[in-house]
Amino acid sequence: MVAALSSRAIRPRLLPAARTMASLFGHVEPAPRDPILGVAEAFAADPLPRQGQPRRRAYRDDDGQPVVLDCVRRAERRVAGNLNMEYLPMGGSAKMVEESLKLAYGEGSELIRDKRIAAVQALSGAGACRLFADFQKRFLPDSRIYMPTPTWSNHLNIWRDAQVPLRTFRYYHPKSKGLDFAGMMDDVKNAPNGSFFLLHACAHYPTGVDPTEEQWREISYQFKVKNHFPFFDMANQGFASGDPERDARAIRIFLEDGHQVGCAQSYAKNMGLYGQRVGCLSILCEDEMEATAVKSQLQQIARAMYSSPPVHGALVVSIILNDPGLKSLWLKEVKVMADRIIGMRKALRENLEMLGSPLSWEHVTNQIGMFCYSGMTPEQVDRLAQEYHVYMTRTGRMSIAGVTTRNVAYLANAIHEVTKPN
């Protein structure tokens, strides 16, 4: 007993590992702050009345409240207590994918009938982009991706983390607050043959600037000449104009011209399923055999990334799109959302013009979708926050979803005051 006590008494006391050795993660620096989240934090910290809220990342109704579509509520009632929540296959819900292809490629598409499209369910549009980026790196390792200037910041993150070399092409023209079509076409022509290009199918984010149908046709022609591959990010189908067919027009033009295309679809905005992360990735192939092979590889990439996609949102989408009554209701509801955004653009422009602004605000109504590139300088944006408690990114990008009939006059006055010539 004495020996045992003595042994314990002389045993050295172990200190926690953190005190005796450097942490393995001590070299990790904080990630750069997301500028959009920084705006949200500044808005939340402002104690004064919140008259203008053009910083929303999701749709709001005219009372500034989040919206759950009635078609979604009805579909959820069918899901509750009636359908199981077991794993989906790696490729996701076959019904949801089938209906997504009809939306993107057309109800009676021969491409769907001939089984030439490799498609899988994805984690919304971002997940679809990431799957494609990994696929691109794995099977075309020497390729690069051209992105518009500007584009959604996460596009850069996605292809960078997939280790695909990034290049840019001219898109937004700051002086006209519209499309730099000439610059874009020069960059398309000068890119190496067979390059990959990321294109926004409609409601370009973050500018809201889209090519006209005639310009899309010329872009498609030049892509054909150069044998470029177009990858469309279609995050706003139906939500941009209120008409899903119209919003898919760019993709349809490229299909008519015989292109192979890729497409990322999302149901965040057009069905309000932001947190459900429901989307689809599709790649048009040469034939059914190639499509089968490509789909199998997409599933393998998904398997290592997240195993299988979530089921609830996929059930909701497939129920809505498979049921004629619910689909008709969805088409009405998505048009209501789009029309409100279009109406607020018109109201903001009219209010600015009634105030006697010497500037042109035509771009506010020329642009489309939930976001608007206002053309304001960083200094003007800072004044908006400091003097009027109105928040947006320092690029001048505002969310029209935060504009309502109750605050549009206040917002217009604030913008007018900070943009008036000295």
Cα 275 from Cα 313, distance rounded (Å): 9
Paired tokens of 313: 């949102």
Q: What is the 3-state secondary structure (H, E, C) of 80-97?
A: CCCCCCCCCCCCCCHHHH
- SS3 assignment, position 421: coil
> Catalytic annotation on 330?
no
The phi and psi torsions of 170 (rounded to 5 degrees) equal -65, 140
Cα 126 from Cα 122, distance rounded (Å): 8
> Catalytic annotation on 159?
no
β-strands 397-399, 371-373: how paired? antiparallel
Strand partners, 179: 172
Cα 224 from Cα 221, distance rounded (Å): 5
- SS3 assignment, position 40: helix
Q: Return the CA Rg of the chain.
A: 25
Alpha-carbon distances of 151 from 207, 256, 280, rounded to whole Å: 8, 26, 20
Instruction: With CA atoms as reference, report the closest residue to 166 among 182, 184, 148, 180.
Output: 148
Paired tokens of 248: 């898919």
Q: Which of 134, 269, 295, 361 is catalytic?
A: 269
Q: Which of 134, 137, 152, 247 is catalytic?
A: 152
Q: Which of 134, 187, 210, 233 is catalytic?
A: 233
> Catalytic annotation on 62?
no
Catalytically active residues are 152, 233, 269
